[in-house]
Amino acid sequence: MYINCAYLNNSLIDFMDKSKPLIVGSCGTYHLYTRPKLPTHRPKGRLDFQLLYVASGKAHFYFGKGDEDTVVPAGNMVVYRPKEPQKYVYYGSEQTEVYWVHFTGNNVKNILRSYGIADGMHVIHTGTSLEFTRIFKQMIQELHQCREDYKELLTLLLHQLLIHIHRQLAKTKNDYLDHEMELAMQYFNENYNVEISIEDYAASRGMSVSWFIRNFKQYTSTTPMQYIVSLRITNAQMLLETTSYNVTEIGNIVGYDNPLYFSRIFKKCKGVSPSEYRKQEQTHLSQSQ
C-alpha cells in the first residue's frame, strides 16, 4: 500500500473556517495493491468538504442508509459535504488508487455550483487525466513544504482542479446531448409516417418532455413536432411531383389518415393545397420542356 498525505498546520483534525471563500485543509492519496482493503466510516461526516478522485481501479461508496454499495470506477470523482455521513471501502484486489482533498470556506457551496457541481451531486464523471493527478500531487507537495504563499497557491490549485472538472462536465453534457438528439432525429426520420407521441418518446429515453423539446429545438432550431411535420410535407412534395398517387393516398403514405387535415397542414406549410402544388409543378415542367 502506498500512502502520501499532508495536512494544513500538520493537524489531522477536521475544521470549519469561514474567514475566506475557500481554504484547503488537507490532501492525499492511497494506492492499494498489497493490503486487502481500506474501509472508511464517518457516521457523522466531517466539518469540511471532501472531493475524492478515483484514478485507477474502483471504489465502493455507501450513500444511502442500506448496505447496497455504489461502485465508482476510475474516471469519477465523489464529493461529500459537511456533516454528511461517509462510508466507503477500497479493495487491494481492485488496485484502487484514490486522491482526495478536504476544503472549507465561507463560499464553498456557491463556488461548487459555479463549476457545475450541483447541491446533492455525489458522483461526478470526469474521465481519467494526468492533469488531475498532477494538481493533487502539487497540492500534497505544497502542504508538505509550506513555502511562501502556499495557502494562496493551494486555493488556486483547487480552483484549477474545479475548472478542469467543469470543462469535463460540459464536454460530457454536450456528448450526451449530441447523442440523444441524433438518436431522436434518426427515430423521427424512420417513423415520421406513423403516429409519434413526443411524450412517450421522451419517457422511453428517460427525459422529461420539457427538457427534450427545449434541447431538441436548440439543436435543430425547430421543435420535435415541427421536425416531423417538415419530414411529412417534404416527402409529400416529392410524391406529388414524381408519382400519380392522389392526394388521399399521398396523405396516407406520409402519415395523415384524414385527407382534409393533410391538405390544411400542407397549405399552411407551402401556401397552396396539395392539388394546387401538383398543378404548379406540372405547369413548370411543361414550360421547361
How far is 261 from 249, CA to CA, in rounded Å?
13
Sign of CA dihedral 156, 157, 158, 164: positive
Give residue 76's pLDDT: 92
Question: pLDDT tens-digit profile of 82-129?
Answer: 999 999 999 999 999 999 999 999 999 999 999 999 888 899 989 899
Q: How many CA atoms are closer than 13 Å to the CA of 57, on its beta-carbon side?
A: 18
Question: pLDDT tens-digit profile of 188-217?
Answer: 999 999 999 999 998 888 888 998 999 999
Residue keyed to cell 487491494:
92
**Is residue 285 pLDDT above 80, yes or no?**
no
Architecture of domain 192-289: Orthogonal Bundle (1.10)
CATH number of 2-171: 2.60.120.280
Q: What pLDDT band is residue 275 in, cutting at 50, 70 and 90?
A: very high
How far is 281 from 289, CA to CA, in rounded Å?
12
The boundaries of every CATH 2.60.120.280 domain in the chain are 2-171
**Is residue 288 pLDDT above 70, yes or no?**
no
The DSSP secondary structure of 120-137, one letter per residue, reads T--EEE----HHHHHHHH
Give residue 176's pLDDT: 80
Grid cell digits, residue 19: 474567514
The boundaries of every CATH 1.10.10.60 domain in the chain are 192-289
Q: Per the confidence metrics, is the pTM higher than 0.85? A: no
Q: Which residues of 8-17 are buried (b: 16+ CB within 10 A; e: fewer)?
A: beeeeebeee
How far is 200 from 222, CA to CA, in rounded Å?
19
DSSP single-letter state for residue 65: S
How far is 203 from 29, CA to CA, in rounded Å?
41
Neighbours of 55 (CB within 10 A): 21
Q: What's the burial of 47, exposed, middle or buried (CB within 10 Å: 0-12/13-18/19+)?
A: middle
Residue keyed to cell 450541483:
118
CB 42 within 8 A of CB 85: yes
How far is 256 from 171, CA to CA, in rounded Å?
40
3-state secondary structure 76-87: EEEEECCCCCEE
Indicate the pairing of strand 70-73 with strand 86-91.
Answer: unpaired
Q: What pLDDT band is residue 289 in, cutting at 50, 70 and 90?
A: low
**Is residue 174 pLDDT above 90, yes or no?**
no
170 vs 195, residue with greater confidence:
195
